[in-house]
């Protein structure tokens, strides 16, 4: 099967109709051999798919003296193929805690994310030898079954759909295709720097393995795929548990975990964190979650943090989330509901008109020139939830007590947006509308949503 035929088969097998018709395909184009081949091959077959347009994006990391020349080369190739090319320059964090390679990858994917939307697909040129190298690197890090499954042919990452159609194509086949089509590409000198682990594996380890076992790369790639299939089977087996133990807020009910063996608890927590798009904890941190968080008393406030993620507990619930960013809780922000309000360190507030008053509680529209603002808890606030919510039995209470009653976790109480009309507390986001500020039945009101960072 030719590489062009391999691409067609991959697209028809892996992509839904939504992702292979009336959408945009993007190629991450470095100018190197692999991405050049992928761009060429896709440009030859894209016309077979109705309404699909092909684009390329080149990210200049500004780390090499030749970077501007690479931009010109990529533009020249894209012009020859009649493929629109976006060139983006980024500033890579040279002091990134995970190293230069990770920092460059983070910056690159940040660019990709700005270009894709809806049913678009990002095509990446990782091939069989890349997959084998990834497997070896993760073995050296002591990864488990999920990590050893290496790269997926199709995966979601930060709301992007990533496609790697060349994972079963060898480096030798790619070089033969390039020679047959007389391709010209750029060579990144950093690829020869053996201080980087992947370059060392590629130049030292893989040739040695192939000299003894010629099929080493394909066999390792096959092992990664088998592990991925077993992981998928495990996900299917665990699905009923998540239906029972995970609520709409994606919290995990500790009461469902406790009766299970510790090894099963660990597997479930890893799967839960995957659903939250959070990185897996190390074995040590996973043990801390099991023994310090799950086993903590119900009134405890345990916390386990690793990298950019953390797990907390409140009452019977386990919460997984990104590490909280600093927030100025003294700020007072004017808001007229007409536009999304972006709050640094918190997220976005959106107000939508509920014309039919379909929601049980909607915030009434301001009247008489009332000024709307967003504030945060300072201490001493009091209010009474709308009578509609408590059938007329609500009492005026301290905001601190109400937040406890509504089971707002302690770490969110000072970060929960409060809506004020003039100087009166009108609503607590994610909680309730205060008495006197709910939209009367039959009248339009505002439904507020809060999307955290």
Query: What's the confidence (pLDDT) of residue 152?
Result: 93
CATH architecture of 3-223: 3-Layer(aba) Sandwich (3.40)
Query: What's the confidence (pLDDT) of residue 393?
Result: 54
All structural domains of the chain with their residue ranges: 3-223, 246-322, 332-452
Query: What's the confidence (pLDDT) of residue 345?
Result: 86
Question: Which helix (H) or strand (E) covers residue 287, if one does?
Answer: helix 283-288
Contacts of 314 (CB under 8 A, 6+ apart): 301, 407, 409, 410
Q: Are 3-223 and 246-322 the same fold in CATH?
A: no
pLDDT in tens, 231-243: 999 989 999 999 9
State the burial class of residue 261 (Cβ atoms within 10 Å of its Cβ: 0-12, 13-18, 19+): exposed
SS3 33: helix
| Two structure tokens written together for 403 | 């937040």
Query: What's the confidence (pLDDT) of residue 80?
Result: 96
Q: How far apart are the first and last CA of the chain?
A: 45
| 224, 149 contact by CB (below 8 A) | yes
Query: What's the confidence (pLDDT) of residue 394?
Result: 64
Contacts of 297 (CB under 8 A, 6+ apart): none
Cα→Cα distances 97→94, 123, 174, 307, Å: 9, 28, 34, 10
CATH of span 246-322: 1.20.59.20
pLDDT in tens, 407-434: 899 999 999 999 999 999 999 998 899 9
| Two structure tokens written together for 199 | 């370059």
Query: What's the confidence (pLDDT) of residue 391?
Result: 47
Query: What's the confidence (pLDDT) of residue 386?
Result: 85
- How confident is the prediction along the chain (453 residues), in pLDDT tens digits per residue? 899 999 999 999 999 999 999 999 999 999 999 999 999 999 999 999 999 999 999 999 998 889 999 999 999 999 999 999 999 999 988 877 778 888 888 899 999 999 998 899 999 999 999 999 999 999 998 888 888 999 999 998 878 999 999 999 999 999 999 999 999 999 988 888 898 899 999 999 999 999 999 999 999 999 999 999 999 999 899 999 999 999 998 999 999 999 999 999 999 999 999 999 898 999 999 999 999 999 888 888 899 999 889 999 999 999 999 998 889 999 999 998 989 999 988 889 999 887 655 555 789 999 988 999 999 999 999 999 986 555 445 688 999 999 999 989 999 999 999 999 999 999 999 889 999 998 887 788 898 988 876
pTM for the model stands at 0.77
């Amino acid at each position: 099967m030719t590489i062009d035929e391999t691409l067609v088969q991959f697209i028809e097998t892996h992509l839904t109709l939504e992702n292979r018709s009336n959408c945009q395909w993007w190629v991450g184009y470095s100018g190197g051999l692999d991405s050049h081949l992928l761009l060429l091959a896709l440009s030859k077959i894209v016309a077979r798919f109705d309404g699909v347009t092909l684009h390329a994006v080149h990210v200049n990391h500004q780390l090499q003296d030749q970077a501007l020349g690479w931009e010109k080369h990529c533009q020249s190739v894209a012009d020859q193929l009649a493929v629109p090319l976006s060139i983006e320059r980024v500033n890579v964090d040279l002091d990134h805690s995970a190293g230069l390679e990770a920092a460059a990858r983070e910056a690159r994917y940040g660019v990709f994310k700005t270009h894709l939307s809806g049913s678009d697909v990002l095509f990446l040129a990782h091939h069989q030898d890349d997959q084998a190298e990834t497997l070896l690197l993760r073995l050296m890090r002591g990864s488990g079954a999920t990590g050893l499954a290496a790269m997926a042919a199709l995966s979601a990452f930060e709301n992007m759909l990533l496609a790697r159609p060349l994972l079963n194509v060898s480096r030798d086949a790619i070089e033969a295709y390039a020679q047959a089509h007389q391709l010209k590409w750029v060579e990144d000198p950093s690829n020869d720097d053996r201080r980087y682990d992947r370059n060392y594996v590629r130049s030292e380890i893989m040739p040695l393995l192939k000299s003894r076992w010629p099929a080493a790369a394909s066999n390792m790639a096959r092992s990664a795929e088998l592990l991925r299939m077993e992981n998928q089977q495990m996900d299917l087996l665990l699905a009923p548990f998540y239906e029972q133990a995970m609520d709409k807020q994606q919290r995990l009910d500790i009461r469902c975990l406790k009766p299970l063996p510790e090894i099963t608890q660990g597997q479930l927590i890893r799967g839960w964190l995957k659903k939250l798009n959070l990185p897996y904890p190390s074995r040590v941190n996973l043990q801390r979650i099991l023994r310090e968080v799950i086993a903590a008393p119900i009134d405890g406030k345990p916390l386990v943090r690793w990298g950019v993620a953390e797990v907390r507990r409140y009452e019977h619930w386990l919460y997984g989330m990104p590490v909280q960013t600093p927030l100025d809780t003294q700020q007072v922000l004017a808001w007229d509901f007409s536009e999304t309000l972006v709050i640094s360190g918190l997220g976005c507030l959106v107000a939508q008109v509920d014309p039919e008053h379909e929601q049980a509680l909607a915030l009434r529209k301001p009247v008489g020139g009332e000024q709307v603002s967003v504030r945060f808890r300072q201490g001493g606030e009091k209010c009474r939830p709308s009578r509609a919510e408590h059938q007329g039995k609500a009492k005026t209470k301290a905001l601190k007590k109400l937040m406890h009653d509504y089971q707002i976790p302690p770490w969110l109480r000072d970060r929960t947006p409060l809506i004020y009309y003039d100087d009166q507390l009108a609503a607590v986001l994610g909680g309730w509308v205060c008495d006197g500020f709910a939209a009367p039945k039959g009248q339009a009101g505002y439904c507020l949503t809060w999307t955290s960072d």
